[in-house]
Amino acid sequence: MAAPSASAPLLRSHPHRGSLVPSSPRHRPAATSLLEFPPRRPASSRRFPYTAVRSSSTASPSAPVEEASAAAAPTGDEEEERVVLPTNESSETLLRIRHTCAHVMAMAVQKLFPNSKVTIGPWIENGFYYDFDMEPLTDKDLKKIKKEMDRIIRQNLPLVREEVSREEAQKRIEALNEPYKLEILESIKEEPITIYHIGEEWWDLCAGPHVESTGKINRKAVELESVAGAYWRGDEKNQMLQRIYGTAWENEDQLKAYIHFKEEAKRRDHRRLGQDLDLFSIQDDAGGGLVFWHPKGAIIRHILEDSWKQIHLQHGYDLLYTPHVAKADLWKISGHIDFYKESMYNQMDVEDEMYQLRPMNCPYHILVYKRKLHSYRDFPIRVAELGTVYRYELSGSLHGLFRVRGFTQDDAHIFCLEDQIKDEIRGVLDLTEQILGQFGFRYYEINLSTRPEKSVGTDDIWEKATIALKNALDDKGWEYKVDEGGGAFYGPKIDLKIEDALGRKWQCSTVQVDFNLPERFDITYVDSNSEKKRPIMIHRAILGSLERFFGVLIEHYAGDFPLWLAPTQARILPVTDNELQYCNEVASELKSRGLRVEVCHGERLPKLIRNAETQKVPLMAVVGPKEVQARTLTIRSRHNGEIGTMPVDEFITRLQLAVANKSSL
């Protein structure tokens, strides 16, 4: 099963520009929820500084809309005016502003740098960018470009659409000596060709849309953010271009709110927190995209895996462990070498036979199924594995835990009969809700993708499978959007995105019906008439990649993991070294009860407390002479302050209960 990628807007090339524009509705993801700034903080999650505005289309399947509204209500001491950030999908005006800003920026660049060549410039999720063939730019250059953009905006120049013939467009492009635009023109199939002018000074191949004039842009709501290198057409064999990123909003308040959001996202960046909290690393000596889980990160992974295994065993899954390599022929049968080769590593020669690192777990699970003949009475058969896979990624695309070369999927496959599809899908949805709910994810975006133009399988089985998916979602009471024709060629699917503490969407869970691999591997069962039939195969992942999900968790919690998941649940802090022996005895007792504690000493108590706060340890047990004499601990919570003094056994009991209930002390 393919690992879900980080949530990002789907884009396609527009034939009249070469720039990227949002894809057609069939492939467009649902609009992200709106964000509010300043926050309305629910008392139960006060440490999360942002909440989200939610409509019924994005409300949690497990909670009514009224509950979401109540959670976002003011707590009494907060009177800030809320700023709602729209999206490109929710505001046509914003989309037009951003598209026009890309043109204005390109015009400004070519005024300041006459030898620069323009390529493409789309609107994107939070703004726009444009790629130029020119000398490298600096931050100082960005300030000059923004100043020139402001001048163009103040001139209130009209945006004028013109239709021309292909020959006329080519003539004009050649006159400007714009080779990239000429290449874009060659790829356009439709006519006439459309051009947009900014006044009488600058024009570009474009299909729109734009604002009526540059004066419709609030220059104080526009900011140039950064410059980066980008290959033409994304191909490293092509020319390296200068890509300028900018953000644009409808008004200044929205820009300020967005900047505030960016600062909070930066504070939560899992790469920085992973280093600060010593959770994981990616070592240059080992290679890019290969994750080292440090002790603190590894214990969190252990908790995730242990919980995952227990829940799956309770839901009737059998656990598997399968090899990381296999004969290359296996991947020929599965079709991966034909359709997925660019994402696979080179084969290795083992005693004159070619072997392949696995990019997927599916063929292994099928081989386990094929080890014996199955009867219809055996179904459903559910197998699950935390299987590590390897995908070839260009070094430039690697990004912390979000895009790596080796990762572990929480993969599972269900083999069932046609009339069992609905119940099995419903079971997966229940399991998904249970697992994701542990981490506080309660708001989802759900999409049902149906049969594409090119597909395998009969009309009848596609219809039955799609209806089964719809019925399972309806039974669950979950709202969803239908992505007509967006399914995989081998079957329909359900995709689920979780919403984090900042309102960002992350693709995690997926459920896919597969008519292809059962055919390729010729898997069968014996029905009630003693005839061989083909079973239905369902792929599903809930967390997706453990590495990526861990990155999402770090950013969701801002590294401040809840008590049950925290790598160190409590630090025992002696006032002086005179209490050290007692502290070690208490630590040993807590560890023997399955609790994660450590003793820290050698500094003055205020600094020990500050260090524990910095490392986001949930609880601190302070020990002085009185505590030693009374055999007690004085407990301090990072979030709730002083809890009080209590006997060791009482602390253990309360801590164990809080961990079991996934609550705070």
Can you identify the CATH homologous superfamily of domain 92-264?
Threonyl-trna Synthetase; Chain A, domain 2 (3.30.980.10)
DSSP 400: T
What confidence score (pLDDT) does residue 395 get? 87
Tokens 């040993």 sit on residue: 588
Residue 636 host element (H or E):
strand 632-637
Clarify whether 616 is annotated catalytic: no
Catalytic hit among 17, 254, 358, 362: 362
Q: What percent of the chain has pLDDT over 70?
A: 88
Clarify whether 411 is annotated catalytic: yes
Catalytic hit among 181, 270, 391, 636: 391
What confidence score (pLDDT) does residue 191 get? 85
Catalytic hit among 442, 451, 493, 497: 493
Catalytic hit among 110, 409, 512, 569: 409
Clarify whether 583 is annotated catalytic: no
Tens digit of each residue's pLDDT (9 = 90 or more) over 243-264: 999 999 999 999 999 999 999 9
| CA atoms of 544 and 432, how far apart (whole Å) | 11
Tens digit of each residue's pLDDT (9 = 90 or more) over 125-150: 899 999 999 999 998 999 999 999 99
Instruction: Give the start-end residues of each E strand in 108-252.
Output: 117-118, 123-124, 127-133, 159-164, 193-198, 202-205, 222-231, 240-248
Phi and psi torsions of 531, nearest 5°: -105, 150
Q: At what angle do helices 421-437 and 459-476 cross, to 10 degrees?
A: 40
76 or 597, greater pLDDT: 597
Please compute the mean of the pLDDT values over residues 217-233 and round it to a whole number.
Answer: 94
DSSP 80: P
DSSP bridge pairs for 536: 416
| C-alpha triplet 249, 253, 255: angle, nearest 5° | 40
Q: Is it true that domain 280-321+358-557 has CATH number 3.30.930.10?
A: yes
Catalytic hit among 28, 301, 403, 539: 539
Clarify whether 268 is annotated catalytic: no
Clarify whether 362 is annotated catalytic: yes
| C-alpha triplet 406, 409, 411: angle, nearest 5° | 145
| CA atoms of 595 and 613, how far apart (whole Å) | 19
What confidence score (pLDDT) does residue 56 get? 31
What confidence score (pLDDT) does residue 456 get? 84
Does the pLDDT at position 579 exceed 50?
yes
Tens digit of each residue's pLDDT (9 = 90 or more) over 48-99: 233 333 333 333 343 322 222 223 333 334 444 567 789 998 999 999 999 9
Clarify whether 391 is annotated catalytic: yes
| CA atoms of 348 and 357, how far apart (whole Å) | 9
Predicted TM-score (pTM) of this structure: 0.81
> Would you list the domain boundaries of the chain?
92-264, 280-321+358-557, 570-661
Does the pLDDT at position 306 exceed 80?
yes
Residue 132 is encoded by which pair of tokens?
């130029």
Catalytic hit among 131, 204, 410, 411: 411
Catalytic hit among 99, 270, 413, 504: 413
Q: How many CB atoms lie within 10 A of CB 613?
A: 12
* Arithmetic mean of pLDDT over the chain: 87
Contact 225, 247 (CB under 8 A): yes
Q: Is it true that domain 570-661 has CATH number 1.10.150.120?
A: no
Clarify whether 508 is annotated catalytic: no
Does the pLDDT at position 176 exceed 60?
yes
Closest of 57, 160, 146 to residue 105, by C-alpha: 146
Contact 159, 213 (CB under 8 A): yes
In three state form, how does the secondary structure of 22-70 look? ECCCCCCCCCCCEEEECCCCCHHHCCCCCCEECCCCCCCCCCCHHHHHH
Tens digit of each residue's pLDDT (9 = 90 or more) over 32-41: 223 333 333 3
Residue 479 exposure: Cα atoms within 13 Å on the Cβ side: 13
Contact 513, 463 (CB under 8 A): no
Residue 223 is encoded by which pair of tokens?
């900011």
What confidence score (pLDDT) does residue 78 get? 41
Residue 468 host element (H or E):
helix 459-476
Q: Return all residues near 310 (Cβ < 8 A) that are at least 6 apart.
A: none
Tokens 């992942």 sit on residue: 541
Same fold, 280-321+358-557 and 570-661: no
| CA atoms of 57 and 337, how far apart (whole Å) | 40
| CA atoms of 202 and 13, how far apart (whole Å) | 22
| CA atoms of 496 and 517, how far apart (whole Å) | 23
Does the pLDDT at position 30 exceed 70?
no
Handedness of CA 556, 557, 558, 559 (dihedral sign): negative
Q: Return all residues near 291 (Cβ < 8 A) that are at least 6 apart.
A: 280, 281, 282, 401, 404, 406, 407, 547
What confidence score (pLDDT) does residue 1 get? 52
Does the pLDDT at position 6 exceed 70?
no
